Amino acid sequence: MDLLRLELIGGPGRVETAVGSPAWERGVLGVDVSALAVEGVDHTVVQVLFDDDAPAFDRDLLDAPLVAELRRPSGEVAVRDLFDHDRFRQALRADQESGGDELRGVLVLTGGELPPPYVRLAFLPVDIGGTDGTTLAVVRTDLPELVMAVDDALEREEIDETEHRALLTSIEQRHPA
């Protein structure tokens, strides 16, 4: 289910959801889209802010599988990435601080602190300029659907075996069964 859709203009931006809109009703306060180089590769960062204090807020949104998708005007998905969540960020930080390298992900700290639990981040491997004319969709999904999408991409030869394993590892690390 799409939590929200937003037309992108190929540059950074911030949007607050309108009171009473479907996204607002689902507890989405806003979205921030920005650029960031991760290990020398340009990424478009999608930050979703939830209203976790709202009485009707679905608290599962704080750690449920969410995917950021960039869709072309035809509706075809150009690129997608799984959002992080607080439990994963805490585990990633502990792994990195202990000198480990088991967990894969981008750890963003502000003033040495992790983002609050009501913020979810996705890192789309595309330069922000390449987002012009695309639609950003924030999609709530489940583990079987995620795995099936990765398997289907392998079958359609959109990804190779190495990418397939990496994606399945990423899913498992963020959302252990």
pLDDT tens profile 72-92: 999 999 999 999 999 999 999
Cα 96 to Cα 41, 66, 110, 170, distances in angstroms: 20, 24, 16, 16
The residue among 11, 3, 8 whose CA lies nearest residue 134 is 8
Residue 23 banded pLDDT, cuts 50, 70, 90: confident
- Could you say which DSSP state residue 19 is in? T
Residue 69 banded pLDDT, cuts 50, 70, 90: very high
Average pLDDT, the chain: 93
Instruction: Indicate whether 57 pLDDT > 90.
Output: no
Q: At 62, give phi and psi (nearest 5°).
A: -70, -25
Cα 120 to Cα 25, 68, 85, 157, distances in angstroms: 18, 10, 6, 30
Q: Where are the alpha helices (DSSP H) in 30-142?
A: 86-97
CB distance 81 to 89 below 8 Å: no
Instruction: Indicate whether 55 pLDDT > 80.
Output: no
Residue 54 banded pLDDT, cuts 50, 70, 90: confident
The total of other beta-carbon atoms located within 10 Å of residue 110's CB is: 8
Instruction: Indicate whether 176 pLDDT > 90.
Output: no
Residue 128 banded pLDDT, cuts 50, 70, 90: very high
Output the six-digit token pair for 147. 């795995």
| Total number of residues shown for the chain | 177
Q: What is the pLDDT of residue 16?
A: 94
CA separation for the pair 131, 127 (Å, rounded) = 7
CA separation for the pair 47, 116 (Å, rounded) = 12
The total of other beta-carbon atoms located within 10 Å of residue 157's CB is: 7
Q: What is the pLDDT of residue 53?
A: 87
